[in-house]
Chains A and B, each alone.
Chain A
Amino acid sequence: MKVQAGAAVARSHAHGAPRGFWRTYVFSVDHKMIGKQYLSLGLFMALVGGFTAYLIRWQLAWPETEVPGWTYVEPDFYNVLVTMHGTIMVFFVAMPILLGAFGNFLIPLMVGAPDMAFPRLNMMSFWTLFTASAVLLASFFVPGGAASAGWTGYAPLSGDPIHTGVNWGLNMWLLALALEFASFLMGGVNFLTTAINMRAPGMTLTRLPLLVWMQLTAAVLFLLSVGPLIAGAVMLLLDRTVGTAFFAPERGGDPLLWQHLFWFFGHPEVYVILLPGFGIILEILPVFARKPIFGYRAIVLSTIVAGALSFIVWAHHMFVSGIDARLAVPFSVTTILISVPFAIMIFSMLATLWRGALSFATPMLFALGTLATFLIGGLTGIFLGSATVDIFFHDTYFVVAHFHYTLFPAALLGGFAGLYYWYPKMFGRMLNETLGKLHFWVTLVSFNCVFIPLFVVGMGGHMRRIYNPLQYEFLKPMQPLHEFVTVAAIVLLLGQIPLIANFFWSLVAGARAADNPWRANTLEWATASPPPHGNFATAPIVYRDPYEYTAPGVAEDWLPQHVAEAARLGVQQSAA
């Protein structure tokens, strides 16, 4: 009853259908349009981030040669590239796509709500992110260039322009981050309020699709962790602009303070990205296995435990940073313990496939690809979680390869899985399967060809953020690997052309999508493709769990959440 009352109150706030171009496509308050805006922004920033990767890779393979389509990359610009690549990919690609696009588009639909709880706040959060992106991109063009102190912005390198020669670029980087945080704070409040207060009647917490659970956990992690970093960013900005000395040791400040503030946020942030990526593939696996998710409650509990643990692991980024050496082992233990809830999640995904009836449409291929590659990312984290092994691996390419194996599957492979799966719902058209499969195989193979060799390079002791590996005798033998990696990276980037072509071609010429093309159970498939303003013609009522596939005694192999009575096997037989 309480849920129904909440939903009724929320519905009374529902806004009218938008009129006119500006209200429909630009300053929209409809969560679906805002989701698409996040998606467009995220994909655009991915092109920028991808281009920085191309420049980085070219410089590493063929140092100090002219980059085709560009010019020579200078050492200080190389540092700009690594800084901006990380910043863009984490904050302006992964988060906008996974939280902004999928969270916004799916949470109201999946919980059976007509829109977000705070539609205008939702619009504001997008336009705040848009402003943040504009500020970040503009920072490339100010005198002194863009930020070059790494995406982690370690002080005092970032604390005083004398160390890098970058003045306004770094201030703008901090401003862009602050705006981005504000944007996702507003978004997170919206996600939480919507998913808790605006659930359709019958949508109990244990009937919530796992994607919603993952988005909620991510929102909570972000809300709880970002405060210290916002404080840190303001302190750093004050250090830079008015000469405070929070991080300046010569005047009583402490450089390590920044690292604590950054990583206290930084590690939960990893799960802010991972969990929504997991949420996407957890929706896709049961649909294409025609089988309930294995261990729903175990997965939800593991998610919450992993999220809670993520607050007490941050110093694993700082094992050799100069913290008290006695801190390393406790943080190493908490870090490695995170493998237990993640193991439960992964094993549950595998058990979902076991004895399923798997079909391999493009969304499923990307979901399986996410699972297969994330495993490598998760497992290699064990090496780095061991403080002892980290003495050697810290700040080497082993770390680079490891976190690309966690974030690329979650954000991009998972994001692509979600795009192929929900594109019909978003745009009312199906994506082309042949192009989709081409995109999948090229992406999967070339991604592994990029990052497997980087583990090897890391084992060779290769430091990160090195402009020219040929300056070091011990790195020279690894140069052929760098060349191979760069070729694979170029293939990976070019491999996105089928997606871009597919995306735009299908928008106008794709086959019309049915309301429920994948025969899925969750509520977003209970309405038209694309859903009308207000989402549901009649407010849905939820009768059961979200993953009732191949339920015993039911005629069809799926049983949507909103359908009151299933066609019974016996009934159908007697009718026939």
Chain B
Amino acid sequence: MLRWFPENISTFGGDIDAVFSLVYHIVGFWFLVTEGFLLYCIIRYRRRSGRGAAYVRGEQWSELAWVLVPAVIVLALDLSIEAAGGPVWARVKEERPAGGIPVRVTAKQFNWEITYPGPDGQFDSADDLTMDNELHVPVGQNIQLTLRSKDVIHSFFLPNARFKQDVLPGRTITAWFNATKTGRYEIPCAELCGFGHSGMLGHLTVHSAEDYQRWVAEHWPAARRARAAAAQAAG
């Protein structure tokens, strides 16, 4: 089933996919058991002349056991899903690994405004760089996201990173991911946000470490200013 999924490119994506696989096998087992039994009954117990139905009310414990024992197995398997999923949830959504690259995403109808703090590492300072819909990150680094919205609820979705987080006006939500593979991926909005919801689309570009340095040097304002100053001095 996992082959239908978009390629995973995040450190925690594999863990999420593994929980999916666990659920898939448990659910697949019950699917085969229940649908198989249903089909068996339909064929085996179709009405034939000379054979009536059995009178079984299922009110005694000995009969009810046929229902209750499987239900206990359901309960046990349910809890195994929670046992496997809980730590992964905590890792993705509750624990925050320290360090890495801060980026601020401000959602608005119908763009992702991506803000890089610049060399000083501080947002809302002169050396910030803001661009629409272009999220550039280095591979193998924790990306520390600050998510905000200017108008309605949006949902920041990185299908390849198995990452999704609604973005709310009036709140600042922090989140993280860590990409394991370079490339260019899509950032759709996953929460209905108005007539332009479809097509609200950004791109995540995961660079190798050197590539990322090159991109920073080319695009961040401080670097651009330094380059301009150097050009002036040379001229």
Contact = CB atoms under 8 A, between A and B. Distances in A.
A375 B153 CA distance: 33
B92 interface: yes
A154 B89 contact: no
Contact of A392 (B16, B37, B194): B16
Contacts of B151: 156, 163
Question: Which of A165, A337, A382, A468 has the most C-beta atoms of chain B within 10 angstroms of its own C-beta?
Answer: A382
Contact of A386 (B30, B81, B153): B81
A372 B38 CA distance: 8
B201 interface: yes
B85 A382 contact: no
Given A353-B42, A461-B159, A463-B157, A346 B34 contact: yes
B190 A395 contact: yes
A298 interface: yes
Nearest to A325: B93
Contacts of B163: 391
A207 to B, nearest CB: 13
B97 to A, nearest CB: 15
A214 B102 CA distance: 53
A144 interface: no
A254 B59 contact: no
Contacts of B34: 346-347, 350, 375
A142 B159 CA distance: 38
A368 B42 contact: yes
B155 A395 contact: yes
Interface string B184-220: 0110111111111111010000000000000000000
B58 A348 contact: yes
B159 A391 contact: no
Nearest to B34: A375
B55 A388 contact: no
Given A329-B86, A380-B27, A474-B186, A395 B191 contact: yes
A333 interface: yes
A466 B197 contact: yes
Contacts of A202: none
Interface stretch (B1-9, B130-138, B227-235): B1-9
Interface in A292-339: 292-298, 320-322, 325-326, 328-329, 332-333, 336-337, 339
B16 A388 contact: yes
A322 B35 contact: no
Contacts of A297: 59
B45 A358 contact: yes
Interface stretch (A131-139, A274-282, A427-435, A547-555): A547-555
A379 B70 CA distance: 15
Nearest to B74: A343
Contacts of A346: 34
- Contact count band on B: 35 or more
A298 B35 contact: no
Nearest to B167: A322
Classify the secondary structure of A's interface with B: helix
A383 interface: yes
Interface string B27-51: 1001100110110011001111001
B226 interface: no
B85 A332 contact: yes
Interface in B129-174: 151-153, 155, 157, 159-160, 162-171, 173
Given A250-B170, A332-B82, A383-B20, A557 B53 contact: yes
Given A249-B168, A382-B23, A460-B6, A353 B41 contact: yes
Contacts of B71: 340, 343-344, 347
Nearest to B195: A76
B198 A386 contact: no
Contacts of A392: 5, 16, 20, 159, 162, 164
Contacts of A383: 20, 23-24, 27
B82 A165 contact: no
A235 B30 CA distance: 44
B188 A463 contact: yes
B198 A354 contact: no
Given A156-B153, A389-B20, A391-B163, A148 B195 contact: yes
B126 interface: no
Contacts of B54: 291, 355-356, 550
Given A383-B20, A388-B16, A459 B5 contact: yes
Interface in B55-74: 55-59, 63-64, 66-68, 70-71, 74
Nearest to B41: A353
B195 A336 contact: no
A395 B153 CA distance: 13
Nearest to B84: A388
B3 to A, nearest CB: 9
A448 to B, nearest CB: 12
29 contacts: A157-B193, A255-B168, A289-B45, A293-B57, A294-B56, A294-B67, A295-B57, A295-B67, A329-B89, A336-B81, A337-B75, A340-B74, A343-B71, A347-B71, A348-B58, A355-B45, A357-B46, A357-B51, A375-B34, A380-B27, A389-B16, A391-B92, A392-B164, A395-B191, A456-B4, A460-B4, A463-B157, A474-B159, A550-B52
